[in-house]
Amino acid sequence: MRFKFEIGCVLVLLAAFIFTQSGINRFYYFAGFAILQYVMISTAWNILGGYGGYINFGTAGFLGVGSYTAVAMIEFYSAGIVEQIIVAGIIAGVIGLSIGFFTLRLKGVYFAIATLALAIVLETFVNNWDYVGGAAGVSILPPRTPELLGIAIVDRKGGAIFNNNKEFLFFLMAFLAILSVWVARTIEKGKLGRGLNAIKDNEEAAECMGVPTLRLKLTATVISGALMGMAGAVFPSYLTFVDPPTAFNLEFAINSLAMPMIGGTFTWIGPVVGSILLGTVQQVAIVTISSELNLLIIGVLLVFFVTVAPQGIVGWFMKKNK
């Protein structure tokens, strides 16, 4: 069947919608939201890191930019969530473009180091920017009865699609996550993905064969950064409070790198598998043990997979089936 994947996407989205209507324990929304967010972030990371082989350590920076773009827009004219997501995506994309422009001509390590430093410097800027709360953080009041294209989305008293803002944001996150997976898969099957793969295998050879390496790398960086920014834009509305240490948490950086590496970086399903597995383990670990130990688990798993099983879980299964 031709649209098997697309039909699957719609079915998953439908399942997410039914989930929001089921009135289940709040904790599952929380855990589910975190996992969906990681599906989106790690898929975005994998577009450049997995297909092109250029490691981005600055996931936290791109997410933070997205979050604070949303905060600034709320402060400025109480923008709607859709506008926030779009503008956050554009700004994060532009940041990806500019840092890529400076460093993507060089060896991959320079890009990696620059992105890591970027996350820290962006945090510095926000710390010094009082309009969005500065170092103290800022509280966001979500609109009571938001509308989209004239349709009431959320109303506590009933009568709208969702009874609760959190349910709506959960659904929105599911939509964005599925959108990112679709984007990543489309890239993978297309010309961009093949070019990126050629760059990963041997950049000089690719260049000699006429692959426009810099342009492809920049395109991938912009798409990947924009998706990360969009994921970050949902954050303030969901948490109703953001401060720089939360928005620029380095935990995002290691997760977005570890999840694709553990799942498998060469295909779109790798990051999805990795983030669902690792995300679930983390949600359980945070509740039952401690959040420090949770970070330790990711670190050890990352080192284990990078050294012993670089093809990831998906690659391992594919090898077995051959």
Binding residue for other proteins, selected from 216, 242, 302, 314, defined by CB under 8 A: 302
Amino acid at 311: Q
Binding residue for other proteins, selected from 250, 259, 273, 314, defined by CB under 8 A: 250
Q: Which stretch binds other proteins (CB under 8 A): 116-124, 234-242, 279-287, 313-321?
A: 116-124
Please, which of residues 132-161 interact with other proteins by CB under 8 A? Answer: none
Sequence-distant (6+) residues with CB within 8 A of 125 are none
Q: Which of 257, 248, 226 is nearest to 46 (CA)?
A: 257
Q: Which is nearer to other proteins, 32 or 100 (CB)?
A: 100
Q: Is 300 in the site for other proteins (CB under 8 A)?
A: yes
Cβ pair 291, 280 in contact under 8 A = no
Please, which of residues 51-80 interact with other proteins by CB under 8 A? Answer: 53-55, 57
Euclidean distance between CA atoms 290 and 189, whole angstroms: 40
Write the Ramachandran bin of 53: left for phi over 0, alpha for psi from -120 to 50, otherwise beta. Answer: left
Coil, strand, or helix at residue 131? Answer: helix
Q: Which of 66, 58, 54, 56 is nearest to 227 (CA)?
A: 66
Q: Which is nearer to other proteins, 124 or 240 (CB)?
A: 124
Binding residue for other proteins, selected from 83, 130, 147, 292, defined by CB under 8 A: 292
Q: Which of 73, 75, 16 is nearest to 40 (CA)?
A: 16
Binding residue for other proteins, selected from 25, 288, 307, 321, defined by CB under 8 A: 307
Q: Which is nearer to other proteins, 238 or 305 (CB)?
A: 305
Beta bridge partners of 239: none
| Minimum distance from residue 94 beta carbon to other proteins (Å) | 15
Beta bridge partners of 138: 242
Which residues of the shown chain bind other proteins in the complex (CB under 8 A)?
Answer: 53-55, 57, 99, 102-103, 105-110, 112-114, 116-118, 120-121, 124-125, 127-128, 200, 250, 253-254, 257-258, 261, 292-293, 295-296, 298-300, 302-303, 306-308, 310
